[in-house]
């Protein structure tokens, strides 16, 4: 979960700003948490404290109504509707907020079901559900089964139908100013960044350097990388320094719940 938050914060200043350059500074005063972190915290809160996913998302998003970069238009309308209903969205928001589910459930069937539940309250299009399920399941595969990266890539294609694009194609899209806001694009792109990296930090850097939806791509890539690598302690400390106390409380609950699993990562 902290992997997702690190990716979000590092990528935040590039989403609507100048294109990132190789060797960019990871954390600056221009960075902040965005809607990605708020929604990630909300989903974790729902599982940890027995809340309905919809209730928790509305609570947290209304509590933080104006994050850096704001919310996507359709999701903003959903948040502020008198009776929020699913919008048939396949935006990447369902996949960027799901990481805690891959840690908090151990049975694959439960992971898939809970990921679906977390998605359909707002993103009930089949592609929106699939994106959330894929990321949660990959996290579960990596932390419990210790699958190799090549095994993960094969299983992602077999069970979810995602063919991961080569890095050169992702970078080309970013260079052309394309904003990859859908699960169909962002999920395989983020997974390719993880596959091609040799460390947690490199995963985050690759995702950001691909430009486009930098915070969400790095959020998703970071969430997966955390289940495979040990996130550097200094990066964790920097990321939590950006978070308010109520988010830190949920983060603390999460790691207290999964503390036995954390020591098993590479």
C-beta of residue 218 within 8 angstroms of C-beta of residue 8: yes
pLDDT of residue 263: 44
Is 215 known as a binding-site position? yes
- 41: pLDDT strictly greater than 50: yes
Span 70-127, pLDDT tens digits: 998 899 999 999 999 999 999 999 999 999 999 999 999 999 999 999 999 999 999 9
pLDDT of residue 82: 92
- 260: pLDDT strictly greater than 80: no
Is 59 known as a binding-site position? no
Is 182 known as a binding-site position? no
Is 216 known as a binding-site position? yes
What lies within 8 Å, CB to CB, of 265 at 6+ separation is 143, 226, 227, 228, 229, 230
pLDDT of residue 264: 44
Domains of the chain: 2-15+32-262 (1.10.4080.10)
Q: What is the pTM of this model?
A: 0.95
Span 225-240, pLDDT tens digits: 999 998 999 999 999 9
Q: Is the dihedral of CA 207, 54, 65, 32 positive or negative?
A: negative
Is 34 known as a binding-site position? yes
pLDDT of residue 175: 65
Q: How confident is the model at residue 266 (pLDDT cuts 50, 70, 90)?
A: very low
Is 110 known as a binding-site position? no
Integer Cα distance of 249 and 152 in angstroms: 32
Q: How confident is the model at residue 259 (pLDDT cuts 50, 70, 90)?
A: confident
- 262: pLDDT strictly greater than 70: no
């Amino acid at each position: 979960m902290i992997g997702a938050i690190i990716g979000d914060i590092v990528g935040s200043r590039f989403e609507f700003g100048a294109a990132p350059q190789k060797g960019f500074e990871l954390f600056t005063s221009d960075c902040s948490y965005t809607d990605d972190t708020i929604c990630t915290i909300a989903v974790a809160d729902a599982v940890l404290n027995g809340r309905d996913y919809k209730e928790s998302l509305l609570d947290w998003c209304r509590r933080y109504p104006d994050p850096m970069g704001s919310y996507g238009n359709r999701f903003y309308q959903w948040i502020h509707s008198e009776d929020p209903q699913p919008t048939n969205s396949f935006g990447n928001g369902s996949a960027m907020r799901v990481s805690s589910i891959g840690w908090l459930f151990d049975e694959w069937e439960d992971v898939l079901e809970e990921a679906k539940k977390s998605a359909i309250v707002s993103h009930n299009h089949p592609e929106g559900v699939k994106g959330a399920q894929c990321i949660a399941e990959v996290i579960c595969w990596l932390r419990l089964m210790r699958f190799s990266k090549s095994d993960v890539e094969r299983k992602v294609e077999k069970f979810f139908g995602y063919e991961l694009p080569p890095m050169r194609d992702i970078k080309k899209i970013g260079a052309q100013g394309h904003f990859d806001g859908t699960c169909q694009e962002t999920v395989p792109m983020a997974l390719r960044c993880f596959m091609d990296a040799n460390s947690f930090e490199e995963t985050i850097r690759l995702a950001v350097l691909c430009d486009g939806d930098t915070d969400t791509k790095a959020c998703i890539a970071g969430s997966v990388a955390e289940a495979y690598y040990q996130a550097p302690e200094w990066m964790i400390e920097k990321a939590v320094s950006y978070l308010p106390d109520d988010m830190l409380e949920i983060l603390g609950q999460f790691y207290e719940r999964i503390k036995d699993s954390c020591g098993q990562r590479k």
